[in-house]
Amino acid sequence: MVVSAKSTRSAVSLTGKEIQKIQPGASPLKAIQTLPGVLYLTADPWGNNEQNTQLFVHGFSTQQLGYTMDGVPLGDQQYGNYNGLSPQRAVISEDVGSVTLASGAGDLSTASTSNLGGTVTTVSSDPSKTSGLKFAQTFGSYSTTRSYLRYDTGEFGNGNSAYASFVNQDQRAWDFAGHQRGVQADGKFVHDDSNGKFTFFADYSDKVEPNEDSVYHGTAAGQGTVLPYTRAFTYPNFPYALAYLGANGAPPASAGNNYRNYYSDAQRTDYLTYAKYDWKISDGVTWSNQVYFHHNDGVGVVAGPIQVAGLPALFSVYYPGQNLKQVFGNSGYATRTTEYQINRTGFLSSVDWVAGNNQLDAGIWYELNRSGQYRRWYALDVNDPTSPYQRPNDDLTPLITQYNVENRTQVVQPYVSDQWFITPEITLSAGFKSSFQFATGRVPTQPLPGSTVGVTQLPAGTIDTRQKFLPQIGATWDITAQDQLFANVQKNTRQFITYGAGGLSPWSLGSQAAFNQFKQTVSPETSWTEELGLRTQHDFNLGPVSGIDGQVSVYHVDFSNRLLSISPTPVISSIVGGAPIIANVGSVTTNGVDIAGTLHFGDHLSFYDALSYNQSQYNDNYLSGTTVVPTSGKNVPGSPEWLNKFIFSANYGAISGQLVGDYVGKVYATYTNDLSVPSYFLLSVQASYAIPGTLGILHDAKISLNVSNLLQKKGAYEVVVGAASGTYNTYPIAPRQFFVTFSASL
């Protein structure tokens, strides 16, 4: 862990080298799970699977944080993509230079419309000044293979350098026969001279991720009593999948809501590129300009039974009086897709000016995003079943196009800030940003009346939001050469989601009237974050202890205008949905403390520990129809109060290793806190051996071993919060897995 010694806010980083220790090929988000105040959960050891990814930082969830890669905005990480892509799709893991978490308050220049609770900043590595070829090969549990290759040109011409990388990964899921597959390539060119620095970056990512469903926990009659540890799909055993259903396509009644689908998957193809020039106008003035482009073509697929979750009512609107099993290919299954398109272009411009005792920074971010979603249904032919690795829209004609929503969103965010170096020890920072969003949605294809419960039509229209003054003020005080006090107060906002027919988006409302009412009465979420902390770094001789470095911070957050989707009509399922009302339902008060530090025991041993306490509580009840939901005084579900992570590291010459512990406290599973999931503790281990000398033409050769869930713990790893008391969903802790990686250069 590297603690920022310049920021007025809490900022901690991991280098690319440390990321690869956690797991070769780990995503930047997976890497930050060792940092204080962070709960990051996902289905695979790399953090690549996105369907059931969860991230909490100081009580704020994934979509309430900001994400960038080399300054390029990555959106809010919503699984139903509409404004970005995940960090692991934006850059190959091995090409990450560092990842930084600013918990609580992000930098004013951060290009994000969702950073209520902080930012995750990923930085790609620059090309090496020396030419060479690097490669790494991983093998492991469940047929894992990951192959990485990078070529650096070294410096050529006058200040030029470049690299090109490629990775291919495949792993079978531990509880079903689906394979997580992906290929990715990226490259970077840098020209650096006395006039400035030009950077060009390009990334291509194409991946398929078969998903599993979460296990439903419910107590109401008719929901079934089967509570499997994992709810995997049945692919590729098609005969079993056919036998699993009744004559009309219904799963066993005893399964309740834990019925099994034939398969489910996420397919994502992304193209991302940017060009940036940092012009050194003079010794004290640098003008940076960056343009970027991102195109995404994605699809989420579920092949499931036709007699569940209100589907017969939906299908009968499109095929009245017909035999639905015959309509959908006589298998008893139908294939549902949500098909995504994103086209984003944008630019960032900033001027950094050092004038006397002041460092002025001003800039602007602009983005135009054209996104769209289709919901379609396809037959699953009993004689020619599809697989998770096919795109139905490439091979089949849809039987139903349920809806198509298109959005056009423009974002403008200017900012200005000043750092005043009052004395060599004391710095005062102040500034503000504005956030303007101009969004329009239209619906070329509407769902037929009666096909979705309570939805008369998906709305169209424009919503413009203007947050004109979002201030920030902070200070640092170098008490000694080794100790720094920092403080920061900042206001942030989260602009409305511009997504069609899903999530907390006004374009998902069930009627034009509901949209118009939302436009007049609902405000974007905002937060005031206050931080106070101490950074320290000391070398001394105290018995076996030779040094300590770390950070302690306390924080208070007032989170206002919390948005919640409230459904006055029954929500049949995530597939069919209900008629939501999105409303501001009050505020949340958060108080917490993070303590993280490393004890050094000479040159060979160290012990890192990060202890976090967070209490995030709702301040208000809310109405669901005419029913009062008693949430006032309740803890925010999904996010634990207590977290503790430790890393014991040893390094003796060519041999190094780490023992990593991760404790997650009790997690409430509902808004009313009537149900909870118990705490758990996981251990993992990493060891490596740097092979001395050379192996023929190879040098810097190393072999490493990573073992996850060392103690084979079982339990609920991840909680999907229930919309009502008495229900919630979980994903399981994966079993122990082994991975061996050989890497070298030539």
**Segment 230-270, tens digit of pLDDT:** 999 999 999 999 999 999 999 998 888 899 999 999 999 99
Q: How many domains are there within the chain?
A: 1
Structure tokens at 577: 């949905």
CA–CA distance, 664 with 666 (Å, rounded to integer): 7
Q: Which residues contact 472 (CB under 8 A, 6 or more apart)?
A: 105, 108, 417, 429, 430, 431, 432, 433, 488, 489, 490, 491
Looking at residue 572, what is its pLDDT?
41
Question: What CA–CA distances, in Å, run from 256 to 307, 336, 611?
Answer: 12, 20, 40
What sign does the dihedral 665-671-675-677 (CA atoms) show? negative
Confidence of residue 571 (pLDDT cuts 50, 70, 90): very low
Whether the predicted pLDDT of 573 surpasses 80: no
Confidence of residue 8 (pLDDT cuts 50, 70, 90): confident
Looking at residue 2, what is its pLDDT?
64
Q: Residue 547, exposed/middle/buried by CB under 10 A (0-12, 13-18, 19+)?
A: middle
CA–CA distance, 203 with 187 (Å, rounded to integer): 7
CA–CA distance, 166 with 672 (Å, rounded to integer): 48
CA–CA distance, 273 with 250 (Å, rounded to integer): 47
Q: Which domain holds residue 631?
A: 2-745
| pLDDT tens sequence across 268-313 | 999 999 999 999 999 999 999 999 999 999 999 999 999 998 899 9
Confidence of residue 7 (pLDDT cuts 50, 70, 90): confident
Average pLDDT of the chain is 91
CA–CA distance, 22 with 34 (Å, rounded to integer): 9
Looking at residue 694, what is its pLDDT?
86
CA–CA distance, 431 with 418 (Å, rounded to integer): 6
Confidence of residue 723 (pLDDT cuts 50, 70, 90): low
Q: CA angle 644-649-655, nearest 5°?
A: 155
Q: For residue 529, give the CATH number of its domain.
A: 2.40.170.20
Question: What CA–CA distances, in Å, run from 375 to 130, 140, 261, 370, 648?
Answer: 50, 37, 18, 17, 49
Does this model's pTM top 0.85? yes
Whether the predicted pLDDT of 455 surpasses 90: no
Confidence of residue 590 (pLDDT cuts 50, 70, 90): very high
Q: Residue 646, exposed/middle/buried by CB under 10 A (0-12, 13-18, 19+)?
A: middle
CA–CA distance, 236 with 209 (Å, rounded to integer): 15
Confidence of residue 570 (pLDDT cuts 50, 70, 90): very low
Long-range contacts of 48-51 (CB under 8 A, 24+ apart): 48/88, 48/169, 48/180, 48/182, 48/207, 48/209, 49/180, 49/209, 49/211, 50/77, 50/79, 50/86, 50/209, 50/266, 50/268, 51/79, 51/209, 51/211, 51/264, 51/266
Looking at residue 695, what is its pLDDT?
87
Confidence of residue 462 (pLDDT cuts 50, 70, 90): very high
Nearest residue to 136 (alpha-carbon basis) of 125, 150, 122, 123: 150
Looking at residue 627, what is its pLDDT?
84
Whether the predicted pLDDT of 602 surpasses 70: yes
Nearest residue to 734 (alpha-carbon basis) of 256, 305, 92, 180: 180
Whether the predicted pLDDT of 569 surpasses 50: no
Q: Which residues pair with 278 in a beta bridge?
A: 197, 288
**Range with top average pLDDT, 26-40, 107-121, 647-661:** 647-661
**Type and span of the H or E element at 215:** strand 215-218
Confidence of residue 227 (pLDDT cuts 50, 70, 90): confident
Q: Which residue has the tokens 């419960």?
A: 453
Structure tokens at 247: 């004559």
The share of the chain scoring above pLDDT 70, in percent, equals 95
The answer to whether 80 and 373 have CB atoms below 8 angstroms apart is yes
Average pLDDT over residues 360-382: 96
| pLDDT tens sequence across 139-177 | 999 999 999 999 999 999 989 999 999 999 999 999 998
Other C-beta atoms lying within 10 Å of the C-beta of residue 18: 19
Whether the predicted pLDDT of 548 surpasses 90: yes
Q: Which residue has the tokens 């990555």?
A: 74
Structure tokens at 291: 């343009």
Strand 118-124, strand 66-69: pairing: parallel
- Which carries the bigger pLDDT value, residue 580 or residue 26? 26
Whether the predicted pLDDT of 223 surpasses 70: no
CA–CA distance, 232 with 734 (Å, rounded to integer): 13
